[in-house]
Amino acid sequence: MSEPTPPPPSRFSWPRFITSAYGPTFLSTIGYGAVTPLVALSALHLGASVGLSALITGLTGIGQIAGDLPASWVATRLGEKRAIALACVWDALWLTVAFLATSLPVLSLAVFAFGLSGSVFGLARQSYLTEVIPLRYRARALSSLGGTFRIGGFIGPLAGAGIIAVWNLQAAYGFAAIMSLFAASVTMLLPDLPPEVQSRRASTNSALRLFPVLRAHGRTFATLGVGVLSIGLVRAVRQTVLPLWCESLGMDPSHTSLVYALSMGIDMSLFFLGGIIMDRFGRMWVAVPSQVILGVGLAILSLAHSPGAVMVVAAIVGLGNGIGAGIVMTLGSDVSPEIGRTQFLSGWRLFGDTGAALGPISLSVITSLASLGVASVCIGGVAVAGAGWLAYWIRHSAAGRTHLRVAGDAQP
């Protein structure tokens, strides 16, 4: 007997849906958060230089970019639920390899494989939620997914620190592998896609090819996609520039951690508010303010020369990023076609992930040519320019009209 399909919009129940929908993300992100800060340390222990350790750490992002387009093939052929479960099992396998790694090539291969599983997991969960969540709840659902990722990422390093204190560094990889297996188990509790969605896919997916779908929506990628790339770039920079600025001021690591924790704490607390705003008033009322606030925060960082001032800037940056939780996924879901949705979203995620990879590179290049303060101001300018770009193209896309359709969807 097949599992029950989600209830129709008028009877949709969050409590009934939340565990199976968000549990896998929460569990796997705790594991991922536990090992992410440790990859560089593992590489150092295996004899890598500081520069090589940084490169190995970045292989996860490279793997995610490499896997974004192939992920659509996996999700289309297996279905979202099985693709998510497979990604979790794959992740557990390579976390075990990292646990046992005694050479840099083996560790590097495992770290790259983390990115491949992340691309499949991310695409499949976004595609699934886009199909099953009623339109009037879409932004809240996807911003909650972003919030779940943030919360898991906050808990993970704390768990990793405790595990290392009791056992050793390698034990954290074992912990993460166990969390991924738990995530795979919870994934199988997900309801199947609605029958009408399964029927539509059965009649069209066999004829669909990835690149024709991407070419058919090239204008969307060249407009909104560029805006999404800027979001990814600015968000990635904000994670790097705050600790670097604290270090440049001579702040000790404990104070730097406090600054980062403050920013993350504010970030985690606002995701659902952002989703409510998007669902009730439109996507632009989160996308634009989020980028403007981030841009202002990064631009004024160069003026912060005391711990108190840095904490104020960290709070501003956390506010901007927090209210924008889920905006990239929400915009992608809004403009994705019913036919070829999985293929389209794989291209959409490629833009966001490419922006995230370009962020640290841009920061490094500008800093080497000028200074960290100048780099922060420049990236702040990119954020504000990106906000203007998004304001125009959201208004002229399906994403700009979604909140108008929500009113009709909300009628009993």
pLDDT in tens, 134-162: 888 899 999 999 899 889 888 888 888 88
Do the domains at 13-207 and 209-412 have one common CATH topology?
A: yes
> Quick check: helix, strand or coil at residue 325?
coil
For 248-292, the pLDDT digits (tens) are 888 876 677 788 788 888 988 899 999 999 999 999 999 999 999
Residue-level pLDDT at 257: 73
Residues 6 or more apart whose Cβ sits within 8 Å of residue 379: 233, 234, 237, 241, 298, 359, 362, 363, 366
Residue-level pLDDT at 244: 85
For 164-205, the pLDDT digits (tens) are 888 888 899 999 999 999 999 999 888 877 777 777 776 665
Residue 332 has pLDDT above 50, yes or no: yes
Residue 29 has pLDDT above 70, yes or no: yes
Residue 295 has pLDDT above 90, yes or no: yes
Place of tokens 């056992």: 167
Residue 408 has pLDDT above 60, yes or no: no
For 335-371, the pLDDT digits (tens) are 999 888 999 999 999 999 999 989 888 888 898 898 8
pTM for the whole structure: 0.87
Dihedral of CA 161/165/170/171: which sign?
negative
Q: What is the CATH number of domain 209-412?
A: 1.20.1250.20
Identity at 337, one-letter amino acid code: P
- For the chain, domain boundaries: 13-207, 209-412
Residue-level pLDDT at 403: 55
Distance CA 157, CA 205 (A): 40
Distance CA 161, CA 237 (A): 25
Structure tokens at 345: 């979203």
pLDDT band at 407 (very low <50, low <70, confident <90, very high): very low
What count of other Cβ atoms lies within 10 Å of the Cβ of residue 221? 19
* Averaged pLDDT of the chain: 87
Identity at 202, one-letter amino acid code: A
Residue 5 has pLDDT above 70, yes or no: no
For 46-55, the pLDDT digits (tens) are 998 867 887 8
Structure tokens at 10: 């008028």
Q: What is the CATH number of domain 13-207?
A: 1.20.1250.20
Dihedral of CA 363/364/370/371: which sign?
positive
